[in-house]
Structure 1
């Protein structure tokens, strides 16, 4: 870890500015900092107090993320989650710059996909989702269709690359839009970003959630669908978790989750096209986006796709 004044690149210069400016860090003297790996949108840091017990996680907004992240809502969601014991304590120092500061969680570690092979941990995560969906409402309503529309406009404005089969995928996304809107949206306070590293677990198997920057009022089945896709759950495991969450398994619920799973991949594929133009992080956004696109196609091309749309 480095001390103040030893920055060797632009990202380190940025975090040193945060250390100097945030009242919590008292000008940065006596603090050390180092990068935290895992994120693909922002610049993440751990800051520690050398003469004391202070230990914090600092998120510096990635280049261009203001195009699709409402930082006021992100802070609101983080604070509400912390108050419910779902997330770590959050500080509002430099919140007006979109910088997020939380207590670091040294007794927890980020989960991996393999951790969620354990059914008990999956059920603990379902409990976390129930808590999330029961939080007080947020000021921002942003469904997956709002996200898709937003990214399509950004792709156009940035002259970002677009995948060759976009017209076919977006046609099917519009069919899903019509079906879901006809059945009605079930809006709740939603997490919207279930990367494995956002589930912090301890030795007892309890789960806390971090990173609320994509939070919004959204359909609860989007939260479940995007999580199921991110974890590569089998169909059988998805049915177990639907029953755990809803208390029953119904065809319309299964279809609603499945359709949202496909839509989530469309959203993140488009997001990747935007990131190709905007991000300064060392990450293969093209490969990530093409993987998301192909998985969306695998659901939309399946013979059951039309059945899922009718069931909604």
Structure 2
């Protein structure tokens, strides 16, 4: 902690003030600290890991965090100090969700509406496309000689079919978080906040919904509730797009786990994390459900 305290002394809003520091758990590419002074409470996000390997743009993260705050769903930005590898944001007191939270009545609907508020806000400074990211991650795995899930490349053709189907009714992109796991929702009792914009970028809104459904392990009824809350009605083609984008999330982000398993110093079984996502993707790729989703995604209704 001596090194951390020395770093905190270099952050202007914390200099010369008594403070308490509590580590916030859950960050895999940040060391997150809840710092309280007599004047305010903030979260100091200390960057860690290799951003190039994982495709993280810290300048874009800062700019997009500002945009999310302007949309009324993201924490305010207090300071950005790239020379220190730190982003300082307002601390939001409230309940941090976990996957079990989504079983409570009304939670999924609130989540869908909060996501819509983000998407209706200012555009982000960069774009995010899971097909491009998956290709980049796969290239990194191969070039670095990292371990890959058995059978992964066997589904390349089906992944291309998904891409083709999603291109048929693709609309304008919107500012997306792209990483809304349960721990990135904070409920202050009145408003639902969305935090952590490392992977943010303008994207298909259905990827945001599908990725959230994947990360928070929503069942089909909950996916329909989420889609209805966002769009007002869960038409068949929109619901199919959400499910297909959940598949893209599983297949693409699984490679993030393969990279982290080889490169991260954090004591976490990243390969198992990625394997679980790949296994879910493979189950859909080899299921009759895939053909139905591909057909429904291009329908007019």
TM-score, length-scaled by structure 1: 0.89
Provide the residue aligned with 2:71 in structure 1. 84
Map residues 122-161 of structure 1 onto 2, 5 A cutoff.
Answer: 122-161=108-147
Distance of 1:166 and 1:40 partners within structure 2: 24
In the alignment, structure 1 residue 38 sits paired with structure 2 residue 19: no
Distance of 1:191 and 1:278 partners within structure 2: 24
| Structure 2, unpaired ranges of 5+ | none
Distance of 1:240 and 1:105 partners within structure 2: 27
| Structure 1, unpaired ranges of 5+ | 1-5, 8-12
Contact 2:108 2:225 in 1 (8 A): no
Task: Number of aligned residue pairs: give it.
Answer: 296
Map residues 2-41 of structure 1 onto 2, 5 A cutoff.
Answer: 6-7=1-2, 13=3, 15-26=4-15, 30-41=18-29
1:23-80 per-residue CA deviation (whole Å, 9 max, x = no partner) reads: 22216x633423210122221112222xx13321111112113431111211111111
Distance of 1:36 and 1:158 partners within structure 2: 32
Distance of 2:172 and 2:105 partners within structure 1: 26
Distance of 1:141 and 1:93 partners within structure 2: 21
SS state at 2:211 partner:
helix
Cα RMSD after superposing both structures: 1.8
Provide the residue aligned with 1:240 in structure 2. 225
Distance of 1:270 and 1:169 partners within structure 2: 14
Provide the residue aligned with 1:103 in structure 2. 90
Alignment partner of 2:151 out of 165, 176, 186: 165
SS state at 2:122 partner:
coil
In the alignment, structure 1 residue 75 sits paired with structure 2 residue 70: no
Provide the residue aligned with 1:10 in structure 2. none
Deviation at 1:21, TM superposition (A): 2.1
Contact 1:158 1:277 in 2 (8 A): no
Deviation at 1:169, TM superposition (A): 2.6
Distance of 2:256 and 2:36 partners within structure 1: 33
In the alignment, structure 1 residue 287 sits paired with structure 2 residue 272: yes
Contact 2:76 2:90 in 1 (8 A): yes
